């Protein structure tokens, strides 16, 4: 696509590089934590999920730059990163055997029916929060060229040193020709945890995220992310259908004025009818034109990771030079499929994603 001057695949060693935190998610399924006897362990992290999905489902050459602690939890995470075919650039930390540093833990029961999912964190003394702009040798990493660089808002909120790390990496990636993407992922709890006494957490978030987004080509985020995370104001749009893209489109002029370098903004749209039943669509605004994916009804197994699944499919389509509507459909289809699996990363094949994107169904495959 002319709108994305990508490095040729044969001239790069990596198609995609993420910068973010690796975590373990502990999942009791539909059982509330206080009653759980067993937990499933999933390796996750918003930025890592996109790299893992692009590798496993879409056959891309991907990598993650992250913190790693040399203890059994870290070893578990490392083995999963390798299993998903993701190359790793680690800043390593030694564990003191008692207090850390640690790999973060995320706890989330899936909910059921009218009972909503519950998510909470233990990011105390997290190794990723100790990263600085000098933690990685970006010149060495980018020597062989990287086509696409990605990071996100959750990682940005871990500590005061992280935003400068992200911006420095984006500048280095841009110097060698990469497209830069960023998933806003505004999380109020995380910004409250890093704001100093007397600071307004939302203002801290808006100032920090805005400074990062000034370096971004492709932005992932819905109207709420744009308003709460970036402080952007949109026209008053009254809608009764949560899958109506009018309010999203109405904000694009504001986005373009504040961040004129942004080429594309995209997000999923969902109407939650129950924990296990969602109406699902997605929208893309690219170079002044809007595109909307079809609407489908999802029977949700595990909703965590659906947004990262969408981002993965969309980025794959753009990396491969697909038309905007096809790239959007690939993201929509992969995000939908991801909600049918346990865990945060994909179990889909490219053929399955393409079939759904082209209008396939759940009819049995023989």
Residue 129 is assigned to a structural domain of this protein: yes
Other beta carbons within 10 Å of 24: 21
The tokens for 355 are 């079939």
- List the CATH number of the domain containing 117: 3.40.1190.20
> Is 4 domain-assigned?
no
Residue 7 included in any domain: no
Please work out, in degrees rounded to the nearest 5, the angle formed at the alpha carbon of residue 49 by the alpha carbons of 214 and 72. 120
Please give the order of strands across the beta sheet that includes 23-27: 40-44, 23-27, 104-109, 118-122
Question: What DSSP line would sit under 256-275, residue for residue?
Answer: HHH-TT--EEEEEEEEEEET
On whether residue 366 sits in a domain, the answer given is no
In terms of C-beta density within 10 A (0-12 exposed, 13-18 middle, 19 or more buried), how is residue 284 classed? buried
**pTM score over 0.75:** yes
Overall domain count for the chain = 1
**310 falls within a domain:** yes
CB 353 within 8 A of CB 337: yes
Bridge partners for 16 per DSSP? 62
What is the Rg, in whole angstroms, of the alpha carbon atoms belonging to the chain? 19
Q: Which domain holds residue 336?
A: 16-357
Which phi and psi (to 5°) does residue 189 adopt?
-55, -45
Distance CA 326, CA 329 (A): 5
Report the C-alpha gap between 165 and 174 in whole angstroms: 14
Residues in contact with 244: Cβ distance below 8 Å, sequence separation at least 6, in sequence order: none
Q: Name the residue among 167, 190, 168, 149 with its Cα closest to residue 51.
A: 149
Residue pLDDT tens, the chain, 366 long:
446 789 999 999 999 999 999 999 999 999 999 999 999 999 999 999 999 999 999 999 999 999 999 999 999 999 999 999 999 999 999 999 999 999 999 999 999 999 999 999 999 999 999 999 999 999 999 998 999 999 999 999 999 999 999 999 999 999 999 999 999 999 888 898 888 888 999 999 999 999 999 999 999 998 889 999 999 987 665 556 778 898 899 999 999 999 999 999 999 999 999 999 999 999 999 999 999 999 999 999 999 889 999 999 999 999 999 999 999 999 999 999 999 999 999 999 999 999 999 986 654 343
């Amino acid at each position: 696509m002319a709108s994305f001057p990508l490095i040729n695949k044969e001239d790069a060693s990596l198609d995609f590089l993420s910068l973010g935190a690796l975590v373990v998610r502990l999942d009791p399924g539909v059982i509330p934590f206080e009653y759980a006897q067993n937990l499933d362990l999933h390796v996750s992290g918003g930025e890592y999920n996109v790299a893992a999905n692009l590798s496993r489902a879409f056959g891309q050459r991907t990598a993650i730059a992250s913190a790693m602690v040399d203890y059994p939890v870290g070893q578990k995470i490392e083995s999963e990163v390798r299993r998903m075919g993701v190359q790793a650039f680690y800043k390593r930390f030694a564990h003191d055997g008692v207090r850390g540093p640690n790999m973060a833990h995320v706890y989330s029961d899936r909910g059921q029916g009218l009972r909503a999912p519950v998510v909470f964190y233990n990011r105390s003394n997290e190794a990723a929060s100790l990263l600085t702009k000098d933690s990685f040798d970006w010149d060495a990493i980018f020597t062989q060229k990287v086509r696409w660089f990605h990071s996100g808002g959750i990682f940005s909120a871990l500590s005061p040193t992280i935003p400068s790390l992200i911006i420095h990496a984006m500048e280095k990636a841009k110097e060698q020709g990469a497209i830069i993407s960023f998933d806003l992922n505004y999380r109020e709890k995380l910004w409250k945890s890093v704001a100093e006494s007397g600071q307004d957490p939302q203002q801290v978030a808006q100032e920090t995220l805005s400074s990062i987004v000034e370096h971004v080509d492709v932005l992932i985020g819905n109207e709420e992310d744009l308003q709460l995370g970036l402080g952007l104001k949109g026209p008053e749009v009254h809608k009764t259908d949560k899958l109506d893209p009018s309010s999203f489109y109405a904000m694009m002029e504001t986005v373009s004025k504040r961040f004129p370098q942004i080429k594309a903004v995209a997000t999923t749209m969902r109407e939650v009818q129950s924990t296990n039943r969602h109406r699902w669509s997605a929208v893309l605004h690219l170079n002044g034109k809007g595109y909307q994916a079809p609407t489908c009804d999802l029977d949700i197994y595990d909703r965590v990771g659906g947004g990262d699944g969408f981002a993965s499919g969309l980025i794959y389509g753009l990396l491969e030079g697909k038309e905007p509507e096809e790239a959007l459909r690939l993201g929509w289809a992969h995000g939908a499929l991801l909600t049918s699996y346990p865990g945060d990363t994909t179990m889909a094949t490219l053929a399955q994603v393409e079939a759904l994107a082209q209008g396939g169904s759940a009819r049995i495959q023989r």
